[in-house]
Chain A
Amino acid sequence: DAGVIQSPRHEVTEMGQEVTLRCKPISGHDYLFWYRQTMMRGLELLIYFNNNVPIDDSGMPEDRFSAKMPNASFSTLKIQPSEPRDSAVYFCASSLSVGKTQYFGPGTRLLVL
């Protein structure tokens, strides 16, 4: 398996623009997680899905953030409108079940100017 795939790897955008981050989990994994990493706040769990259903989105910072998982092999994290404080590395991870090993994608480095 190719592992967790994220795209784009880097994104530079201007404040106010919509940003869409994409993730393909490892085939067969039932759980998908979106994390954000910043210098100030470290690693944070934003939202996670089980069998394509959002289970806990309490980590999503604001209504500007939304995440979807239309099928078992694809998820998106959208920021609309983006702000400079959204600049961070966004990681997607998947696992077979909660409590089991999480496998991370390479991350998307987002810079909002």
Chain B
Amino acid sequence: GIQVEQSPPDLILQEGANSTLRCNFSDSVNNLQWFHQNPWGQLINLFYIPSGTKQNGRLSATTVATERYSLLYISSSQTTDSGVYFCAVGTGGFKTIFGAGTRLFVKA
């Protein structure tokens, strides 16, 4: 089946720093989403981005489907950005497959 790899697995930032999270996938997908799981366990959908670029406040995402990767940019990080960021891809069978996530900790 399709493989989803996220990097880095762990990231520690000082508040105010910028970061880039990467998601590589091994086959063509028809949808891609980024999620944030906060320290309390709540999953929040950040972007639905099968291709192109989207921005929402300090967060933006870019997916290059032809090269099978997506990037999530976090600018001016805040402590509330801490948590785990998941990339999830959808294939022709409508399954959603999650990567292992990037664990982010933002220090005050």
- Report A's interface with B, CB cutoff 8 A: 33, 42-45, 48, 55-56, 58-59, 89, 91, 93, 98-104, 106-107, 109
B62 at the interface (CB under 8 A from A): no
Return the contact of B101 from the options A42, A56, A59, A109 (Cβ within 8 A).
Answer: A42
Return the contact of B44 from the options A33, A56, A104, A109 (Cβ within 8 A).
Answer: A104
Cβ contacts under 8 Å, B7 to chain A: none
Q: How far is the CA of A102 from the CA of B31 in the complex (A)?
A: 12
B48 adjacent to A42 (CB under 8 Å): no
- Report B's interface with A, CB cutoff 8 A: 30-31, 33, 35, 41-45, 48, 50, 86, 88, 90, 93-98, 100-101
Q: List 25 A-B pairs, Cβ < 8 Å.
A: A42-B100, A43-B86, A43-B88, A44-B98, A45-B95, A45-B96, A55-B94, A56-B94, A56-B95, A58-B95, A59-B95, A91-B43, A98-B31, A98-B90, A98-B94, A99-B31, A100-B48, A101-B33, A101-B48, A104-B35, A104-B42, A104-B44, A104-B45, A106-B42, A107-B42
A102 adjacent to B95 (CB under 8 Å): no
Q: Determine chain A's interface SS by DSSP, over half rule.
A: strand
Cβ contacts under 8 Å, B50 to chain A: 99
Q: How far is the CA of A79 from the CA of B81 in the complex (A)?
A: 35
B97 adjacent to A45 (CB under 8 Å): yes
Cβ contacts under 8 Å, B93 to chain A: 56
Q: Which residue of B lies closest to A55 (CB)?
A: B94
Return the contact of B41 from the options A45, A89, A100 (Cβ within 8 A).
Answer: A89
Cβ contacts under 8 Å, A104 to chain B: 35, 42-45
Cβ contacts under 8 Å, B45 to chain A: 101-104
